Chain A
Amino acid sequence: MLVILLMLVALPVAEAQQPLGFSHSAHIGKARMQCTDCHVGATSRDQAGIPSIRKCMLCHQFIAKDHPEVVRLAEYWERKHEVPWARVYGFKKEAAVQFRHAPHARAEIACAQCHGEVSTMTVAVKTVRHTMGTCIGCHRENKASDDCLACHF
């Protein structure tokens, strides 16, 4: 019994397993890139988007070609495959939530507010819980709509 309990406690929180060890801190922290350089939809569209391998290779055809993770990236490129990135954040279908990035960016909500300090992370992990309380709290604080229909339709 005790062993089972210990095992349960020790079990890590299920995190998205990424096919490549992409380091956010190396790109944002060290290389001084912006989140929107790759997640281009974050300020103008509904979805922030995950960049295509073409975007990665724009730089990595020339930069850090010998890095083991970049070598693996290049293998995907050679095979003409996209990298099957795993989604880190997102609402469950049952939540019936319609989220749009653009209006939040216009309201100058920092990416880190909902996504945590990704700039200091290597592989992005989920650090902020997206519960209805998280959303409503911020909406009320910023005098945004707290009508159910603002998100659920």
Chain B
Amino acid sequence: MAEGKRNPEEDGSEHVPQWAMAIDLDRCTGCEACVVACSAENNVPTAGQEQAAMGRAKHWIRIDRYYEGEFPNIKVKYRPVLCQHCDNAPCEPVCPVYATYQNAEGLNVQIYNRCIGTRYCANNCPYTVRFFDWFAPEWDGPLDLQLNPDVSIRPAGVVEKCTFCAHRIKRAKLDADAEDRDLADGDVQPACVQSCPAEAMVFGDMSDSHSKVSKKIESGRSEQLLSELGTKPRVYYLRKAD
């Protein structure tokens, strides 16, 4: 890496971004474009009717629905739920083989070939966003031809979950490196953020006070899911105070 570039910290060390996401619930229409985009981007296979009925459907991001009022005066509220990349993640200390950990950039990482499939992490996740691969993934043709080569295919017997599109973060960093420039705000867009037609989701570096995501988090509308558990999620939900 070339010296002298990239917004260095005061001590001269390289700036380490702190990734975070803000989701504006007042904008979310519950269209599930993010769910589809995520599955396509991350090679998440469909479980099939039978397995899904057994609770084995895999969705790295899902839309939770909340109904308010009685029919016909019902109001539906949506909340996209993905791995919250907690700073104090309940999934991490229960893994006996350190297959999941938080890296320097605040990502909650899952290393598939280190995972031995105890499923302790999935059981300990209060957001239920970790999924166990009961079977080797299969795609009916020609869907097997559209797999994303940047994302590993998970074998049977490991736990998988949202990575905040770590491969896109990697790609953006390498592109910036090749062009000898800093990562700019908005250079990294996970598939869900990119696909959101209502632009309800924003992703970025929350250690940069000028980034879009920082401004959303500081807007006074933000809250964290199940914050009373002390998990310190990196996903912030924005909504008008009740």
User: Which residues of A are at the interface with B, using a C-beta cutoff of 8 A?
Assistant: 44, 93-98, 100, 102-103, 106-107, 147-149, 152-153
Contacts and interface: CB of A to CB of B under 8 A. Distances in A.
Given A147-B103, A149-B109, A152-B111, A106 B178 contact: yes
B116 to A, nearest CB: 14
Nearest to B167: A153
Task: Give the interface centre of A93, A147, A148 by most chain B CB atoms within 10 Å.
Answer: A148
Contacts of B7: none
Contacts of B112: 96, 152
Interface of B is mostly: loop
Contacts, number: 49
B155 A106 contact: no
A102 B174 contact: yes
Contacts of B113: 94-96, 152
Contacts of B150: 98
18 contacts: A93-B153, A96-B111, A97-B152, A98-B167, A98-B170, A102-B178, A147-B103, A148-B101, A148-B103, A148-B114, A149-B107, A149-B109, A149-B166, A152-B111, A152-B112, A152-B114, A153-B151, A153-B163
Contacts of B229: none
Q: 8 closest Cβ contacts across the A-B interface?
A: A96-B152, A153-B166, A148-B111, A149-B109, A96-B113, A96-B112, A152-B111, A147-B103
B167 A148 contact: no
Interface in B151-167: 151-155, 163, 166-167
A96 B110 CA distance: 12
Given A149-B109, A153-B109, A153-B151, 4 more contacts: A95-B113, A96-B112, A106-B178, A152-B111
A96 B178 CA distance: 24
A106 B167 contact: no
A103 B178 CA distance: 8
